Chain A
Amino acid sequence: MKEDTIVCFENVSFSYPSGSLAIESLNVNLPKGKKIALLGGNGAGKSTLMLLLNGILKPSKGQLLYNGESYNYNAKALRTLRSNVGLLFPEPDYQLIAPTVYEEISFGLLNQVKEPEEIRKIIAKVLVDFSLVELKDRPPHQLSTGQKKRLCLAAVLAMEPELIVCDEPAANLDPMYADKIFNYLNTLNKKGKTILIATHDVNQAYEWADFIVILNEGKVLTSGGPETVFNCENTLKQANLKQPTIINIINSLGLDSVNVPRNIDGLNALLKGRLSK
């Protein structure tokens, strides 16, 4: 086990009561302080892996280690674990509890912070960060899907967990809010938090993540930095994924650049440089 690993999966298997084996002898180390993207096709086991991380599911074989200590599934240990590992579910409808947006954000906090005044301060800040001020008195079930999603994220992030696990954070969001959420995740990452997202969007993952894990049929296909992982087209195909557009363009144009650009701006600069030569 390396020093800078936040969660380590040791030979973890998990099968649902119905019998389907969702995770099969999985070994992976999630590096601390990094932006990690978990990629995989439908049914690859991403959501299951995330539920394992939060201690909601217990592996049928193997174990998980948080900061080198193995997961303990008694009530008290789970509380500590869950205040360290925040989990955002993909369907917002099933995680909104309170009758108003304001109270929704207070729910998790109340289990963490005891002073109501302290909680109100945090909520006020979070409402501004996620542009929810206008909606604060509305009942969550009246919001649009994207607004609900934003609220769920706000409610989880308000608790400031060490490891933030988001299952498809940008699904159903318009590009502006998707950007906003990734920016917010970035600022949290700069504060030292580890972030793990599950997604099918290879372009997003390529641009944003420092570390990629590709899952297929409950097993890790590859993991590593985005440049190395995305270069291998066959592996990607095996996992129902495509190569990111930028790598694809560079490879098909035969540009052998030393640092492959990570975003469109970088690609533009590279192409302009080449064309002017």
Chain B
Amino acid sequence: MLIESVYNYKHRLVDAHFLVKIVYVLPAFVLVLISENTAFHGFAFCLIFIACKYIAKVPIFHLLKLFSVPFLFIFIGCFTLLFSFDKIHGIGILDDSYFLGIAIFTKSMALISVMYFFLLTHTISEISKYMYACKVPSLFIELFVLTYKFIYLLSDTAKSMQIAQKCRMGDQQGYLNTVRNYGLLFSMVFRHAMLQTEQLEIAMSARLGSNNFVFVQEKHAYSFMNLLAPILFVLLLITALLLL
């Protein structure tokens, strides 16, 4: 499942200055990273999950689906951590590894929730803007934006071609046929991608572009009032860290 298919373009921070957004994300990230407190991690996860629901405005069902993938991986990883084996006792769970497993699990989930919140409130161009600000070489940023663009061009082409293929050949085909058809499909998709690149280049030159992916972004004003909510959010996290 792609983040973009659940991204809500009417989330609460659409017109927010990037400073407002970063106050939500950065302190939370740092706090979760430095703290070793399991209860705090649990609290942070819940708070950010709620923020994903009410600030990023993603429906709960989608959020659960989104979180289920990393959950599964991390859970399996931590589960294997629990068990230790030696010749005298056989397989068992040590207290140490039990706590270690829980600690790693909660910390990872909290970090992932921060990451998701970031992704669900920032568009690709905003992320690329941060990259510019962090002095990432522009070549990498262009590559990043282009990759994003081509993932969609390719997946769209592949989807429509597959539908067309199914329509013509029917759904029931032998195993060998399926393999061959997929081979055909991929070769066609790549040919298409080449054509599309060519067309894109033509379109860019028609609009005076010189192969640079540079754009102008909207400017958002901000005031101290806008910062109030994220500061409250951070204060909440800090108190939790101190209390728990």
A-side residues, CB < 8 A to B, are 51, 54, 56, 78-79, 82-83, 86-87, 89, 91, 93-95, 97-100, 102-104, 106-112, 116, 119-120, 123, 136-139, 141-142, 155-156, 159
Chain A interface mostly helix, strand, loop or mixed?
A: helix
Interface size on B, residues (CB 8 A): 32
Contact A98 B125, CB 8 Å, known A54-B206, A155-B207: yes
Stretch at the interface among B21-29, B77-85, B183-191, B211-219: B211-219
Answer whether residue B14 sits at the interface, using C-beta atoms and an 8 A cutoff: yes
A141 touches B125 (CB 8 A): no
How far apart are the CA atoms of A119 and B196 in the complex, in Å? 28
A141 touches B203 (CB 8 A): no
Answer whether residue B35 sits at the interface, using C-beta atoms and an 8 A cutoff: no
B-side residues, CB < 8 A to A, are 4, 9, 14, 123-125, 128, 145, 148-149, 152-153, 156, 196, 199-200, 202-210, 213-219
**Which residues does chain B contribute within 8 Å of A94, judged by CB atoms?**
196, 199-200, 202-203
The 8 listed contacts between A and B (C-beta, < 8 Å) are A56-B205, A97-B213, A106-B217, A123-B216, A139-B123, A141-B149, A141-B156, A155-B207
The A/B interface has a contact count, at CB < 8 Å, of: 102
Contact of B203 among A95, A102, A116 (CB under 8 A): A95
**Which residues does chain B contribute within 8 Å of A159, judged by CB atoms?**
207-208
Contact A112 B208, CB 8 Å, known A99-B125, A99-B145: yes
B217 touches A82 (CB 8 A): no
B124 touches A137 (CB 8 A): no
Chain B interface mostly helix, strand, loop or mixed?
A: helix
Given contacts A94-B203, A110-B216, 17 further A-B contacts (CB under 8 A): A51-B202, A56-B202, A82-B205, A89-B199, A93-B156, A95-B199, A97-B200, A100-B125, A106-B216, A111-B207, A111-B208, A119-B216, A120-B219, A136-B218, A139-B4, A141-B149, A156-B207
**Which residues does chain A contribute within 8 Å of B207, judged by CB atoms?**
82, 95, 107-108, 111, 155-156, 159
**Which residues does chain B contribute within 8 Å of A102, judged by CB atoms?**
217-218
Nearest-neighbor residue (CB-CB) of B156 within chain A: A141
B210 touches A87 (CB 8 A): no
B203 touches A89 (CB 8 A): yes
Nearest-neighbor residue (CB-CB) of A152 within chain B: B203
Most buried by B among A94, A102, A108: A94
B203 touches A97 (CB 8 A): yes
Contact A108 B215, CB 8 Å, known A94-B203, A139-B123: no
How far apart are the CA atoms of A13 and B73 in the complex, in Å? 62
